[in-house]
């Protein structure tokens, strides 16, 4: 794990026009040096269609609210498909470089310009970026593989989550559903 200063512009908030400042769920202030949080953004070609920042406590409790079966399957799937969880080969080749860590899908051999839709996740600590398993990118194809692994209960939970936080305009909601957004 390595911690480097600065949050890449692409992972900052489009809506807030700058850094994410508060947890989406509990509104904890995120820009303190001792606060761990996750930023997730979903992109089409160059457009952001989804963004959130959530403190690590809320993130974990959300994850724990997913069904045990889904969690088990997701963990199994990642363990099988992500060869080196420590990102050793990326570190050896490129060092700690956000662009390099996210230009290829972490699960499939697909580059960011080869996928219509992608989801990027980063782990932050205050105004710093943490390199552990994150940052990573998931391509359309990788997300499509994940969705069938989820139980009905978990899919319902994701729907509730989307409804609660994102008043998506219907056409976007349809688009998101079609894309089978997965909260990872």
Contact 5, 122 (CB under 8 A): no
Out of 11, 38, 49, 55, name the contact with Zn ion by CB under 5 A.
Answer: 55
Task: Determine, following the binding rule CB under 5 A, whether residue 25 of this chain makes contact with Zn ion.
Answer: yes
Question: Quick one: 30 or 107, whose CB is closer to Zn ion?
Answer: 30
Question: Quick one: 2 or 29, whose CB is closer to Zn ion?
Answer: 29
Part in contact with Zn ion (CB under 5 A); list of ranges 56-64, 88-96, 112-120, 171-179: 56-64
Residue 184 to residue 163: CA distance in whole angstroms? 17
- Sequence length of the chain is 184
SS3 161: helix
Number of residues this chain uses to bind Zn ion (CB under 5 A): 6
- C-alpha closest to that of 183 among 72, 96, 79, 62: 62
Largest distance between two CA atoms of the chain: 44
CB 140 to Zn ion: min, Å: 29
Q: Which residues of the shown chain bind Zn ion in the complex (CB under 5 A)? A: 23, 25-26, 28, 55, 58
């Amino acid at each position: 794990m390595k911690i480097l200063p600065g949050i890449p512009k692409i992972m900052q908030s489009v809506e807030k026009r700058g850094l994410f400042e508060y947890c989406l769920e509990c509104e904890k202030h995120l820009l303190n040096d001792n606060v761990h949080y996750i930023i997730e953004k979903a992109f089409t070609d160059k457009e952001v269609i989804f963004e959130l920042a959530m403190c690590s406590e809320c993130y974990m409790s959300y994850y724990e609210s997913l069904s045990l079966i889904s969690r088990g399957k997701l963990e199994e799937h990642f363990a099988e498909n992500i060869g080196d969880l420590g990102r050793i080969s990326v570190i050896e080749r490129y060092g700690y470089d956000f662009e390099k860590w996210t230009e290829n899908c972490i699960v499939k051999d697909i580059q960011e310009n080869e996928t219509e839709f992608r989801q990027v996740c980063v782990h932050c600590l205050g105004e710093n970026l943490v390199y552990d398993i994150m940052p990573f990118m998931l391509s359309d194809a990788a997300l499509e593989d994940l969705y069938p692994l989820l139980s009905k209960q978990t899919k319902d939970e994701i729907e509730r989550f989307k409804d609660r936080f994102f008043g998506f305009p219907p056409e976007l909601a349809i688009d998101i559903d079609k894309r089978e957004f997965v909260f990872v």
